[in-house]
């Protein structure tokens, strides 16, 4: 829970609405990579949305 509490507020809000049970570590890894790439917080969240869609689509095909 401490890892979740240390996440940025926009990321915590995204996790609350996520369709999948993401770990704080997984989300933080994607978030930090997006921010290192120079993306805004909104664009970083869009990257998380894309990762989630990709995972859901992959699961639907199995």
Strands (DSSP E) along the chain, which ranges?
Answer: none
In the block, residue with structure tokens 């997984």 = 26
38: alpha, beta or left? (left if phi > 0; alpha if psi -120 to 50): left
Percent of the chain residues past pLDDT 90, beyond the cut: 90
Sorting pLDDT into bands at 50, 70 and 90, what band is 62?
low
pTM of the model: 0.88
Q: What is the per-residue pLDDT for 24?
A: 95
Q: Write phi, then psi, for 11 (nearest 5 degrees).
A: -70, -40
Q: What are 2-50's pLDDT values in tens digits?
A: 999 999 999 999 999 999 999 999 999 999 999 999 999 999 999 999 9
Structure tokens at 20: 């999948």
């Amino acid at each position: 829970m401490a890892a979740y509490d240390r996440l940025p507020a926009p990321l915590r809000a995204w996790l609350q609405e996520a369709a999948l049970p993401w770990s704080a570590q997984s989300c933080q890894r994607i978030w930090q990579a997006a921010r290192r790439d120079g993306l805004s917080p909104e664009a970083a969240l869009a990257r998380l949305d894309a990762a989630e869609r990709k995972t859901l689509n992959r699961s639907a095909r199995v």
